[in-house]
Structure 1
Amino acid sequence: MAGNSKRRGATRTAGSKKGALKGTGGHGRKALEGKGPTPKAEDRPNHKAYKAKRRAESEAAKRPQPRRTTPRDRTSGSLELVIGRNSVLEALRMGMAAERLSVFTRIDADDRVTEIVSLAVEHGLEVREVTKATLDAMGGGSPHQGVALEVPPYAYAEPEDLLDGRAPVRIVALDGIQDPRNLGAIMRSAAAFGATGVVIPERRAAGVTVAAWKVSAGAASRVPVARATNLTRAIEGYKKAGCFVVGLDADGDVEVGRSELLDGPLVIVTGAEGAGLSRLVREACDQIVSIPIAGDTESLNASVAASIALYEARKALG
């Protein structure tokens, strides 16, 4: 009868052969204590997956490693930003390749914002509404005016590409300009005075970044920027192609407005404020010209100097 402990065999005594002892499962658990989970196949030395992993690691170590980028080098696969209403509108008007447009959810829309959104939709871009905090983070603190356009990394031209285009050639070469805002301002002046393009060194120089785009007020989409592995060699190449090269320096041989080299194919070279032209670049110039300024002013900002030289070169064409 179920539950009747008095029937024969219902309980086991301590002295019986099959007493109330621990089962083998308990002994097995003790044996496994402290060993942890079974390692993955690729982590077991005697497994073929482990050997395959080691071979892959060895082959990867032999491959050339990618060059380490700096904060100024924005040529990776990640997207860049164009921010500010004028810059974004100009980029969209020029048909610049873009991925998506972010707009502040509570933006005070004006004609520019209306056109920006319309062009983005027309170009098939993703348009998303975001908070101000999101836009602030995207722009890294730069004024965005409620709009940000995500675009592929800037596609730099080759130095020789600037020789192909409208005549006469007008190229601005920047020697050691490290402030992207100066680069943006020079691009804006280059567009205003009909320059063919801008050439910059590949290293230790500002590139076409968010700040440069912003200051250029859209000129970055119209004026090509080339990167030269060696600026001096690029300048020598322009000379062989028939261009005159004038360098800007406070101690120039002649005032820029009186130079006789401004009415033909021309390269205007400007150096960083304070440092000026490097020795090799200076030696590559056909002429060093100066901009007359008041005696109590030490020097001009690089972008201002480049603008004045571009203006004088434009005048020389008549």
Structure 2
Amino acid sequence: MPSEQVLYGRKPVASLIAHRVERICEIYCADSAKLEPLVQDAIGRFAVTGGLVHKVPMAEIESFLPQLNHQGLLAVLNPRSPVDLDRLLQASLSSREVILVLDQVSDPHNLGSILRAAEVFGVDGVVLTSANSASVTPVVRKASSGASEIVDICYVKNLSRALEQMKSAGFWLVGTALDEVSVDIREHAFDGPLAVVLGSEGKGLRKLTKAKCDFLVKIPQLGHLESLNVGQAAAVVLYEVIRAKVN
């Protein structure tokens, strides 16, 4: 069993069966696991379509995913190729016209949260840097509740060049930063094709990335803490973007 190409946890596996069953190669279920009816039904649907379901001892699953909250259930995934940037941009222009760009987000739990928010709010795709970014691992898949297998993901080697490519394709670049020049996100008009750019957990947007942005926005804060983490910020920003576009 390839340990990196797996999705574990009951709700993530059931969700992927419901929305992207073709991503699943086979399922391993602990014979002692007491699954909820919803999860049982999902696994049953997978089996009816010809999918392989293996009943194994809990210890076997534990040996593949030690110290992880797998809940006695995991799915082995079919290989998935990243999306080409040109293809992503063209597809977005024919859809919701919103893509999300992450500038070296390295924490796997934050990446998982961001991918989940991107799927919930209907983002057309997520662009990641090839270097200094978290990879899509089992931990990321679990944190994303399976959204990592639904949302289109594109990797770029040179983010600055990719941002220029987005501009050439007609996208406005909207960065998030707690700068004095940043506009309250509630006051910004999110018109036209948009690439929303978020920075890393500690440093935020890099200087060159920020300089490439057409606009900078910030989330208003009333409390004492310095900022939200990037996973929380992504959900707030994407909600505002989609709300503005729908309205």
Name the TM-score, length of structure 2 as normaliser.
0.90
Query: In structure 2, how many angstroms separate the alpha carbons of the residues matched to 1:299 and 1:263?
Result: 26
Kept in 1, the 8 Å contact 2:174–2:215? The answer is: yes
* 1:90 equivalent among 4, 15, 19: 15
Aligned to 2:84: 158
Conserved 8 A contact 1:100-1:151: yes
- Once residues 86 and 109 of structure 2 are traced to their aligned partners in structure 1, the CA distance between those partners, rounded to angstroms, is 25
Q: Is the 8 A contact 1:273 1:300 kept in 2?
A: no
Match of 2:121 among 193, 209, 228: 193
The one-letter code matched in structure 2 to 1:92 is: I
Distance 1:256 1:273 in 2: 19
Alignment match, 1:145: 71
Q: Flag the structure with more relative contact order, 1 or 2, with Cα contacts below 8 A and sequence separation at least 6.
A: 2
Match of 2:58 in 1: 132
2:45 to 105, 119, 127: 119
1:217 alignment partner, SS class? coil
Q: Distance in 2 between matches of 1:208 and 1:79?
A: 9
Deviations 1:163-183 (A, max 9, x none): 214433101100111112211
Gapped runs of 5+ residues in structure 1? 1-76
Q: CA distance change for structure 1 residues 119 and 79 in 2, over 3 Å: closer, same or farther?
A: farther
Q: Structure 2 CA distance, aligned partners of 1:157 and 1:223?
A: 10
Given that 1:105 and 1:129 are in contact with CA atoms closer than 8 Å, whether structure 2 keeps it comes out as yes
In the aligned structure 2, how far is the partner of 1:139 from the partner of 1:116?
A: 22
1:183 to 107, 111, 133: 111
1:38-62 deviations in whole A, cap 9, x for unaligned?
Answer: xxxxxxxxxxxxxxxxxxxxxxxxx
Q: Summarize the alignment of residues 17-36 of structure 1 with structure 2, pairs less than 5 Å apart.
A: none
1:310 pairs, out of 206, 223, 238, with 238
Change (3 A) 1:110 1:295: closer
Q: CA deviation at 1:194?
A: 1.7
Matched, 1:208 2:136: yes
Q: 1:115 to 1:240 in 2, by over 3 A?
A: same
Output the CA distance in 1 between the equivalents of 2:96 and 2:88.
11
Cα pair distance change 1:127/1:92, threshold 3 Å: same
Work out whether residues 80 and 153 of structure 1, in 8 Å CA contact, stay in contact via their aligned partners in 2. Answer: yes
**Deviation, structure 1 residue 79:** 5.6
Q: In the TM superposition, what is the alpha-carbon distance from 1:206 to its structure 2 partner?
A: 1.0
Identity of aligned residues (%): 32
Distance in 1 separating the partners of 2:11 and 2:122: 20
- Bigger Rg, structure 1 or 2: 1
Partner of 1:44: none
Amino acid at match of 1:84: G
Q: Post-superposition shift, 1:78? A: 7.2
Corresponding residue pairs, total: 241
How many angstroms does 1:295 deviate by?
A: 5.1
Alpha-carbon offset, residue 202 of structure 1: 0.8
Q: What is the CA distance between 1:84 and its match in structure 2?
A: 0.8
Deviations 1:24-81 (A, max 9, x none): xxxxxxxxxxxxxxxxxxxxxxxxxxxxxxxxxxxxxxxxxxxxxxxxxxxxx87611
Aligned counterpart, 1:299: 227
Shift of 1:292: 1.2
Aligned to 2:184: 255
Structure 1's 106 and 212: CA in aligned 2 closer, same or farther, altered over 3 A? same
Q: Name the residue aligned to 1:269.
A: 197
Structure 1 residues 79 and 207, CA, compared in 2 at 3 Å: closer, same or farther?
closer
Unaligned stretches of 5+ residues in structure 2 = none
Aligned residue for 2:23, secondary structure, equals coil
How far apart, in 1, do the equivalents of 2:38 and 2:115 lie?
22
Aligned residues: CA RMSD? 1.8
